[in-house]
Structures are given as C-alpha cells and as structure tokens.
Amino acid sequence: MRLATCQTGKTFILYDPDSLSDAGEAPQIDPSLFEPDHWRRTGTIVGQAPGRGASLFLEVPGEHWVLRPYRRGGLVARLSTKRYLWTGLERTRGFREMHLTAELFDGGLPVPRPVAAGVTRHGATYEAALITVRIPTAHALAERLPHDADDALLETLGRTIRRFHDAGLDHVDLNARNLLIDARDKVWLIDLDRCRWRSPGPWQRANLERLARSVEKFGAPDAMQAIRRGYDSAGD
C-alpha cells in the first residue's frame, strides 16, 4: 500500500490514494473528511460504535468507512478530551496508527484497510482522526460473549492473536471490543492506537492478561481457556 501526504491549512493528511480516488481521477482530499458534522450534513452516517471516541459508521460510494476521532480518557481528559501535545507530525497518533495499520495490512494480517489519517495542529497541540474501511458483517467479541462464542471460535481467536504476536505487534488495549468476528467467523483486530512493534517479551503475556480481564467483564471468565489453547497451538 502506498501512502501520500498533503497539507491544507493547519491540517495534514496521510492517505491511501487508491481509497480516495474516483474512477482513476485525482484523489479528493479535504479536511472535512475528518469532521463528523460534514458527514451529518451529507446524511451518510449509518451508525455509531460504543466507546469514548464515538466512532461513526459512514456509507460512501462502493463501501463503508469508520471515522474514529482520537479522544482522551482518565484524569487528563478534564483538561481536554481531544487535544494532544505536538511533538512532530510523524509522532502524532493519527500518522503513527495509519502507518502501522498499513504495514499490518500489507503483511496479510487481518486488520481493516486504512483510508486516511487527519491531523490538525493548534500551536503546541493537535487534534486527530482516522478513517478505515468497515469490515462487513463484523461484530465485536463482546457481543458474542458469553453464550455465542464456542470453543472452536475462541481457539481461532487465540491463533489470530498469536499471528500478531509472532509478527511483533504489541496491542496495548487488547480487549473484547477490539476483536471483531465476521459472518464467516474470521477474526479481525482493530484500534491500533499506541500499539507498536516489539521483540518477544513479557508484553505478550500482558496482552493476554488484559484480554482475560475483559472477557471476564463480559461474563465469560472461562473463555480464556480456549483462547489460550488456540494461542499455544499456533506455536506448535
């Protein structure tokens, strides 16, 4: 996947030209792509995901997208829910996640195809948002727990996580909402904000422990047994 960068005013956009081109014409790039109000005016919002960032599901010609604004949580959100400290364009959360998702996508790992990341600078701070292709028919693992996720599916999920770990991806927020399952029971990993490449180490166990706390929260504490079986079998 080739990525390109452009700037319009205070907004920097990192994008996939093939995703934003129309019948071979020049890509249509505009900061309004990252503004929820723009999509509300055009009537193309078809849904919304739960969570702090209030991701929007968009219907565009030929496919569906997900617009996810970056939002802060915790105590720092009392100061600002959407502003981050500017330390350089390539270090912004939007550009970092766009690059990482493109690398995983090119490597054949099951992540949504990235479309564009937008970063708007405000002096010493910035705001950002990311657009990816929405995975059709997919639902979060959280929606399948505790009664609609059998051992076969959970083992598949474990094997998929192992693929990412073997590739070196540390998913710092591995939970039951960031694992999607489509109609064919294929598992997808989403929300790669703050994730990074790492050599093997204790972070792999920490990822699984975080997932264990999450599935327990959704009423399926025994699910990790099957997930770990799948995870361990993928290394045989």
Strand 114-122 versus strand 63-69 pairing type = unpaired
Please give the full DSSP string across 90-123, using - where no structure is assigned: GGSHHHHHHHHHHHHHHTT-S-PPEEEEEEEEET
From the candidates 18, 22, 150, 173, give the one annotated as an active-site residue.
173
Contact assessment for residue 171 and residue 138, using Cβ atoms and an 8 Å cutoff:
no
- What's the DSSP call for residue 60? E
Tokens 């500017």 sit at which residue? 86
SS3 (DSSP) at 215: helix
Q: Are 42 and 142 in contact (CB under 8 A)?
A: no
Give the Cα separation of 166 and 180 in Å (integer). 20
Catalytic residue list contains 173 = yes
Closest CA to 19 of 118, 115, 117: 115
Q: Which residues are catalytic?
A: 173
